[in-house]
Structure 1
Amino acid sequence: MRPMDMHAPAFATHDPLRVRNLTRRFGENTVLDALNLDLAPGSFTALLGRSGSGKTTLLRTLAGLDEAPHEARLDLPRPAAVVFQEPRLLPWKKVWQNVVLGLPSAGARRRAAQALTEVGLDHRQDVWPATLSGGEAQRAALARALVREPRLLLLDEPFAALDALTRIRMHALVLDLWRHHGPTTLIVTHDVDEAVLLADRVLVLDGGRIAADIAVDLPRPRAHADAGFAALRRRLLTELGVDQQEAA
């Protein structure tokens, strides 16, 4: 039996995510091939795969940005929110206005302030996005997701463009927000270390299907120096077809 993670979300009462028979084709190229997927409520899952394996296609379909084919069945927690690699902030709107973009105006400033405080940007509410650092811009993007109180949080390589120290801080922030809010969370990443540090389950997408489904049975906080971390890293790299000597 897996030991209880005392740092997991205290509540996760919404519905599970279920995908059945999801196929996506672009011309003659089948990106997703009758894919099936189940995510438990409040879980934190990482999705790995080679470039072009369909990771972002899957995430966009789950987010409702791409329409699912009629033969597929998707039962998804709603509302959903997405954080992309680029913050996608509108430069002509103040930071707080970006956070509540598309939401009703009643109480918008208060909700923006609360979300920005959670991500450590309460002092940057009234500035223009161009004045934010890369890490601050991603914090604003996270606040924009949180203010929608999502039951499904989708992260599409949100830290890929950040420097190493900023990524470490963002990892800690995302885990704190996940524990506090408890959304079912799926992060798409190319970084094996990031997947093991953040998630409790890692999926490897290959050939349009889930080729590997690996539990990360490590207590938090996690460290690269732990033997269990290193073993999981080696296993995932093998699943991805990476030469271990090249990855060392």
Structure 2
Amino acid sequence: MHTLTLNLLRQTARDDAPALPRTPVQAQNLSKRFGDNTILDNLNLEIRAGEFVALLGRSGSGKTTLLRALAGLDRISSGTLNVPQARAAVFQEPRLMPWKRAWRNVTLGLKIDRPRERALAALEEVGLAHRENAWPATLSGGEAQRVALARALVREPQLLLLDEPFAALDALTRIRMHQLILSLWRQHRPSVLLVTHDVDEAVLLADRVLVLEQGRIAADITITQQRPRSAQAPQFQQVRTQLLQLLGVEIEEFFN
């Protein structure tokens, strides 16, 4: 039987505070069970500081369960999990409060000085400062997701968790959001875990792509192609084909 341990890495404002660990996310023998059903099975995972990692897997493989465990939304059943205390999550749905204006959604649940000023700064980073007083019902899908990103940014996370945040967006908006998330990642340098079903999205954005299968990491592929990446590049297509095969997609049948 594995012992259950959850450690939160705290960041302080002292000048003599220790440097952040090189691997702020560490999971060892991580398991999550719902009754007799094992979703995560002795999973091991490391994400380095400032690293952008994408997580692929078939439906039911445990991707969202792992993300929720890292976010602190679900308790693990056994194993050891080290994660930063400063973390934020963005989900497929923006999850905005319809009775609060955009800027108030950004600072929802936070007790901070000058909340409107902080919210406006975050909204400006995602290109929505002009919509600070908008009601959620008046926002487009892309705008609502940018408010959700601003809500994550204002928390200054060391770990940013993204659970298919672009899945419901149209193709053009999705491209713009890809560009935005890379820009914000370069500027703030959090560790990022992106859960997605989109192989192209994973290869375009991530430093590493993990494939989850039966509750364990079945593949860990480093993406060496420099950014900005082209889906037409031979290196991109090679990795894409490898990932599709790992996910059980027959390439010849797929294109015939």
Shorter-normalised TM-score: what interval?
A: over 0.9
Matched, 1:78 2:47: no
Give distance in 2, aligned partners of 1:232 and 1:14.
31
Which residue does the alignment assign to 1:4?
none
Question: 1:176-191 residue pairs with structure 2 within 5 A?
Answer: 176-191=183-198
- Contact 1:47/1:186 (8 A) holds in 2: yes
Partner secondary structure for residue 76 of structure 1: strand
Pick from 240, 245, 256 the counterpart of residue 238 of structure 1. Answer: 245
By how many angstroms is 1:246 displaced? 3.9
Can you give the 5+ residue segments of structure 1 that lack an aligned partner in the other structure?
A: 1-12
Give distance in 2, aligned partners of 1:38 and 1:21.
12
Pick from 65, 76, 86 the counterpart of residue 68 of structure 1. Answer: 76
Pick from 37, 57, 62 the counterpart of residue 45 of structure 2. Answer: 37
Pick from 3, 20, 23 the counterpart of residue 14 of structure 1. Answer: 20
Matched, 1:52 2:60: yes
- Contact 1:115/1:147 (8 A) holds in 2: yes
- Contact 1:14/1:77 (8 A) holds in 2: no
Give distance in 2, aligned partners of 1:76 and 1:23.
16
By how many angstroms is 1:245 displaced? 2.5
Amino acid corresponding to residue 190 of structure 1 in structure 2 = H
Partner secondary structure for residue 211 of structure 2: strand
Identical-pair percentage: 64
Give distance in 1, aligned partners of 2:90 and 2:180.
14
Give distance in 2, aligned partners of 1:142 and 1:177.
9
Q: Deviations over 1:164-183 (max 9, x none)?
A: 00000000000000000000
Amino acid corresponding to residue 155 of structure 1 in structure 2 = L
Which residue does the alignment assign to 1:98?
105
Give distance in 1, aligned partners of 2:252 and 2:96.
40
Provide runs of 4+ in structure 1 moved above 6 Å: none
- Contact 1:14/1:151 (8 A) holds in 2: no
Give distance in 2, aligned partners of 1:225 and 1:78.
39
Can you give the 5+ residue segments of structure 2 that lack an aligned partner in the other structure?
A: 1-18
Amino acid corresponding to residue 69 of structure 2 in structure 1 = T
Pick from 138, 141, 144 the counterpart of residue 131 of structure 1. Answer: 138
Q: Deviations over 1:27-49 (max 9, x none)?
A: 32211100010111100000000
By how many angstroms is 1:105 displaced? 4.9
Amino acid corresponding to residue 223 of structure 2 in structure 1 = V
Amino acid corresponding to residue 46 of structure 2 in structure 1 = D
Give distance in 1, aligned partners of 2:133 and 2:148.
15
Which residue does the alignment assign to 2:151?
144
Which residue does the alignment assign to 1:203?
210
Amino acid corresponding to residue 165 of structure 2 in structure 1 = P
Amino acid corresponding to residue 244 of structure 1 in structure 2 = I
Give distance in 2, aligned partners of 1:156 and 1:122.
25
Give distance in 1, aligned partners of 2:178 and 2:150.
15
- Number of equivalent positions: 235
- Contact 1:32/1:208 (8 A) holds in 2: yes
- Contact 1:84/1:157 (8 A) holds in 2: yes
Give distance in 2, aligned partners of 1:41 and 1:105.
26
Which residue does the alignment assign to 1:3?
none
Which residue does the alignment assign to 2:32?
24
Give distance in 2, aligned partners of 1:23 and 1:226.
38
Give distance in 2, aligned partners of 1:73 and 1:87.
30
